[in-house]
Structure 1
Amino acid sequence: MTYGRRAFLGGLAASAGALALPRAATSAPLATVRELGALRFGLYQNNQPWSFEEDGKVVGIDADIARALAEHFGVRPDLALFPADEEVSDDLRNVVWRGGLLGFRKCDVMMHVPFDRTFAAREDQVVILAPYYRESFGAACASGMPECEGMPTEFRGKRLAAELDSIPDFYLIGNFGGILRSDVTHYTSGFDAVAAVKAGSADLAVATDAQIQSALSHAPGDGAKRRKGPLPAMLSPGWDVGIAVDEKSRSLGFAIEEQMDAMMADGRMTAIFAKYGVDWRPASAVAPVA
Structure 2
Amino acid sequence: MYRDFPPYSYLEKGSPAGIDVEVGKKIAEQLSVQPAWFWLTPDETLNDDLRNAVWKCHYMGGGVADIMLRVPYDINYDNDKVSIVAPYHKERWTVARNTEKLAELVNLAPFMYHKVSVEVDSVPDLTLTTALRGRLVEQVTLFLSIDEAVSALKKGEIDAVAGMRSQVEWSVKASGDDLDRQMDSQKFAISDESIVSWPRRAWDIGIAVKATFPELTNKVDAAVMAMIDGGQMAPLFNEYQVSYELPAKPAP
Q: TM-score, normalised by structure 2?
A: 0.89
The answer to whether residue 27 in structure 2 is matched with residue 69 in structure 1 is yes
| 2:6 corresponds to | 48
| TM-aligned CA distance change 1:272 to 1:94, over 3 Å | same
- The partner residue of 1:124 within 70, 76, 80 is 80
Given the alignment, which residue of 227, 230, 243 partners 1:279?
Answer: 243
Distance 1:206 1:181 in 2: 14
Tell me if structure 2 keeps the 8 A contact 1:61–1:273: yes
How far apart, in 2, do the equivalents of 1:142 and 1:162 lie?
15
Q: Secondary structure in 1 aligned to 2:39?
A: strand
AA partner of residue 129 (structure 1): V
- Percent identity over the alignment? 29
SS of 1:81's partner is coil
Which whole-Å CA distance do the structure 1 matches of 2:157 and 2:221 have between them? 42
Task: Identify the match of residue 113 of structure 1 among 71, 82, 86.
Answer: 71
Structure 1: any 5+ residue segments left out of the alignment? 1-42
Partner of 1:256: 220
Question: 1:14-70: per-residue Cα shift (whole Å, max 9, x none)?
Answer: xxxxxxxxxxxxxxxxxxxxxxxxxxxxx1122221112221122111111001211
What is the match of residue 20 of structure 1?
A: none
Aligned residue for 1:152?
108
210, 229, 246: which one pairs with 2:193?
A: 229
When residues 228 and 90 of structure 1 are mapped into structure 2, their CA distance, relative to the original with a 3 A threshold, is closer
Q: Which amino acid is the alignment partner of residue 220 of structure 2?
A: I
Q: Alignment partner of 2:36: what SS?
A: strand
Distance, in Å, in 1 between the alignment partners of 2:24 and 2:39 is: 12
Contact 1:191 1:207 in 2 (8 A): no
Q: What per-residue deviation string (whole Å, max 9, x for no partner) do you get for residues 192-238 of structure 1?
A: 43343234332111112212222222134524221362414311131
Aligned match of 1:269 in 217, 221, 233? 233
Measure the CA separation in 2 of the matches of 1:150 and 1:261. Answer: 36
CA contact (8 A) 2:73 2:203 kept: yes
**Match for 2:209: what amino acid?**
V
Q: Is the 8 A contact 1:132 1:241 kept in 2?
A: yes
SS at match of 2:86: strand
Distance 1:214-1:286 versus aligned 2 partners, 3 A rule: farther
Do 1:195 and 1:219's aligned partners in 2 also have CA atoms closer than 8 Å? Answer: no
SS of 2:212's equivalent in the other structure is: helix
Whichever residue aligns with residue 113 of structure 1, its letter is: V
Query: 1:194, 1:211 within 8 Å by CA — same for their partners in 2?
Result: no
User: Comparing 72-81 with 272-281, which one deviates more in the overlay?
Assistant: 72-81
Structure 2: gaps of 5 or more residues:
none
Alignment of 1:34-45 (within 5 A): 43-45=1-3
CA RMSD of aligned residues (A): 1.9
Matching residue within 161, 165, 185 for 2:117:
161
Displacement of 1:144 after TM fit? 0.7
SS in 1 for 2:245: coil
Counterpart residue type for residue 38 of structure 2: A
Match of 2:210 among 246, 249, 254: 246
Distance 2:105 2:219 in 1: 44
**Secondary structure at 2:7 match in 1:** coil
Matched, 1:136 2:107: no
Deviations 1:135-176 (A, max 9, x none): 111100013123541431211232211111111111111111
Q: 1:199 to 1:218 in 2, by over 3 A?
A: farther
Aligned to 2:57: 99
Indicate conservation of the 8 Å contact 1:49/1:191, yes or no: no
